[in-house]
Amino acid sequence: MVSRIIPVASFDLVIFGGTGDLARRKILPALYRRFLAGQMPADAQLIGAARSPLDDAGYRTLAREAIVEFGGEQAGERRLDAFLGLLRYVTLDARGDSGWDALKRLIRPDRVQAFYFSVGPGLFGALAERLHGYGIAGPRARIVVEKPFGHDLASARALNATLAEHFREAQIYRIDHYLGKETVQNLMAVRFANILFEPLWNSQFVDHIQITVAETVGVGGRGAYYDRAGAMRDMVQNHLMQLLCLIAMEPPSRFEPDAVRDEKLKVIRALEEVAPHHIVRGQYARRGDVPSYREDVDDARSTTESFIALKCHVSNWRWAGTPFYLRTGKRLRARVSEIAVIFKDAPHLIFGQEAGRHCNTLSIRLQPDEGMTLQVTIKEPGPGGMRLIDVPLDMTFAEALGDQVEDVPEAYERLIMDVMRGDQTLFMRGDEVEAAWAWTDPVIAGWEGRGDVPKPYEAGSSGPEDALMLMHRDGRRWREIR
């Protein structure tokens, strides 16, 4: 048996913003899949709470439509109805007083209580205050908050302080859904449960590391928000930073929340400031019918980046001398999130020049097709001398484990259930988020001070030419986006 359902105690989960996009696309379908997997306690209560005037029946209809549209595999009307029976709805105003008494009547004090703040961060303070003011959240209640967690260090500190007025750090679950992915956890297993990799996991043997999060979509309907953020704030400060931490961190003494997060924090604090010539910002240009970034955000002079590539260094004993290349952007050639650890060449080539140069690469793919592959060099089979080829060694083990692998839960499913279990390992701690902003802020201030304008790149490409040059100058190449 490879994975098994760990039962969770009965709970009340309130989804503030329960009618919003995130709730419909991610949270409700994730809860339904956990229900199908048999992990939902029979008397769990899932309470949507938002401004729209709905009753329970209206919310169940909304949830049914969301699950049909975004829920993936369906399991028939009877099971869906059974799930929908767990849903309740309260109309309330986060900033006002209506609805809070009704919510209080629904919450059972003897259950695990979780409050998902699926609303803009501007409402976090109002929600936290009322949860206490109305005596709804008990001392062990948990709150879940989404990105963006602040816009810079000052705003992140202010948000942390607001939440801290009402909740202890142990009650706050800051979601970065990248951490909920199966492969991210598999990365930790491969690193810390095998003797094989750890001795090589340092600047003596690792040439460089590439982290790529490429999207094919543009800014879509999020233009107004995105144009104030840009790729650095929207992606690098959180998702790419978290991936970098997991690759670079020292082995924690235990797989426990604070032990893991302490090690991640040390990595962020060891990051050197990025030199201006190690940053390339880009903005997608129109291609055929595909509008440009500036058209998408309706600002012909926007200088916000929809693409960023940068080179950074973790200055500690393990990583001194090994560059980390980070790259993310919208409207790129393919949708892919991948970390690649590129090992150094063998120190001496006994097979001669004609055998070519080969290096081992460990690639960890987060989406699509989650998986982990080790590229190894072998002899090309057959006659004709010693020709070498690189072949992938699949380390996801899906094939080896075959039928024993149960359906792997998606990120939101795992993370929501971790909240119910009270496990914070895969959530960001307040000081981590602040440290990430402390690293990000001067980089942004630097290009703002220089009046830097992003380089245009063609939609459907791999980003601006300068990003390729960032690597070429170092005698390296980006992995293909595909």
Least spacing, CB of residue 52 vs ligand NAD, in Å:
5
Cβ(246)–Cβ(188) under 8 Å? yes
Region class of 276: left (phi > 0), else alpha (psi between -120 and 50), else beta? alpha
Q: Which two tokens stand for residue 309?
A: 């590539």
Q: Which residue in 54, 119, 285, 339 binds ligand NAD (CB under 6 A)?
A: 119
Any bridge partners for residue 362, and if so which?
341, 374
Asked whether position 19 contacts ligand NAD by CB under 6 A, the answer is yes
Under the binding rule (CB under 6 A), the answer on residue 17 touching ligand NAD is yes
d(CA 17, CA 36): 24
- Candidates 115-123, 128-136, 280-288, 427-435: pick the segment binding ligand NAD (CB under 6 A): 115-123
21 scored as a contact of ligand NAD (CB under 6 A): yes
User: For 214, phi and psi rounded to 5 degrees?
Assistant: -110, 140
What angle is formed at CA 463 by the lines to CA 438 and CA 276, rounded to 5 degrees?
40
Q: Which two tokens stand for residue 279?
A: 């940053």
Nearer to ligand NAD, 48 or 257 (CB): 48
d(CA 143, CA 318): 36
Among 94, 231, 342, 374, indicate the residue that binds ligand NAD (CB under 6 A).
94
* Other Cβ atoms closer than 10 A to 86: 20
Q: What percent of the chain is helix, strand and coil (3-state, nearest 5)? A: 40, 20, 40
123 or 408, CB closer to ligand NAD?
Answer: 123
Nearer to ligand NAD, 116 or 324 (CB): 116
Q: Which of residues 134-153 bind ligand NAD (CB under 6 A)?
A: 146-148
DSSP structural state of residue 461: B
**Residue 131 or 312 with smaller CB distance to ligand NAD:** 131
Spatial separation of the C-alpha atoms in residues 406 and 349, rounded to whole Å: 44
Calpha distance 453→293 (Å, rounded): 13
Q: Total residues at the site for ligand NAD (CB under 6 A)? A: 23
Minimum CB distance to ligand NAD smaller for 125 or for 463:
125
CB of 209 to ligand NAD, least distance (A): 26
DSSP string, 189-232: HHHHS-TTTGGG-STTTEEEEEEEEE-SS--GGGHHHHHHHHHI
- Within its chain, how far is the Cα of 424 from the centroid? 15
- Cβ proximity to ligand NAD, 146 vs 434, nearer residue: 146
In this structure, the number of other CB atoms found within 10 A of the CB of residue 3 comes to 14
Q: Is 122 in the site for ligand NAD (CB under 6 A)?
A: no
Instruction: Find the binder of ligand NAD among 113, 118, 203, 322 (CB under 6 A).
Output: 118
- At closest approach, how far in Å is the CB of 477 from ligand NAD? 32
Of 78, 64, 7, the residue nearest 37 (C-alpha): 7
In the complex, least distance from residue 134 CB atom to ligand NAD, rounded to whole angstroms? 14
Interface with ligand NAD, residue 93, by CB under 6 A: yes
Based on the residue annotation, tell me whether 277 is a catalytic residue of this protein: no
What is the DSSP code string of 289-307? TBPPHHHHHT-TT----SE
> Considering beta carbons, is residue 21 or 407 the nearer one to ligand NAD?
21
User: Residue 430, interface with ligand NAD (CB under 6 A)?
Assistant: no
Contact flag: residue 163 with ligand NAD (CB under 6 A)? no
Of 239, 278, 358, 472, catalytic: 239
Q: Is residue 335 part of the contact set for ligand NAD (CB under 6 A)?
A: no
Q: Using the rule CB under 6 A, is 125 a contact of ligand NAD?
A: no
- Minimal distance in Å, beta carbon 425 to ligand NAD? 20
Residue 355 CB, nearest approach to ligand NAD (Å): 48
Smallest gap from Cβ 314 to ligand NAD, in A, equals: 27
CB of 388 to ligand NAD, least distance (A): 45
Residue 86 or 145 with smaller CB distance to ligand NAD: 145
Residue 305: burial class (beta carbons within 10 Å; 0-12, 13-18, 19+): buried
**Contact letters for ligand NAD, residues 44-73 (x by CB under 6 A):** ------xxx---------------------
Candidate segments 20-28, 268-276, 438-446, 469-477, binder of ligand NAD by CB under 6 A: 20-28
Question: Looking up tokens 């060891």, which residue turns up?
Answer: 270
CB 208 within 8 A of CB 476: yes
Task: Give the span between the Cα atoms of 324 and 211, in whole angstroms.
Answer: 8
* CB 435 to ligand NAD: min, Å: 21
Name the token pair of 60: 């169940």
Q: What pairing do the DSSP bridges indicate for beta strands 206-214 and 324-329?
A: parallel
Q: Which stretch binds ligand NAD (CB under 6 A): 91-99, 152-160, 278-286, 414-422?
A: 91-99
Q: Which is nearer to ligand NAD, 8 or 136 (CB)?
A: 136
Listed ranges 86-94, 211-219, 262-270, 295-303: which one lies at the site for ligand NAD (CB under 6 A)? 86-94
**How far is it, in rounded angstroms, from Cα 331 to Cα 460?**
6
Q: Does residue 276 sit in helix, strand or coil?
A: helix
Cα four-point dihedral sign 241, 246, 248, 249: positive
Catalytic amino acids?
239
Interface residues with ligand NAD (CB under 6 A) are 17-23, 25, 50-52, 92-95, 118-121, 123, 146-148
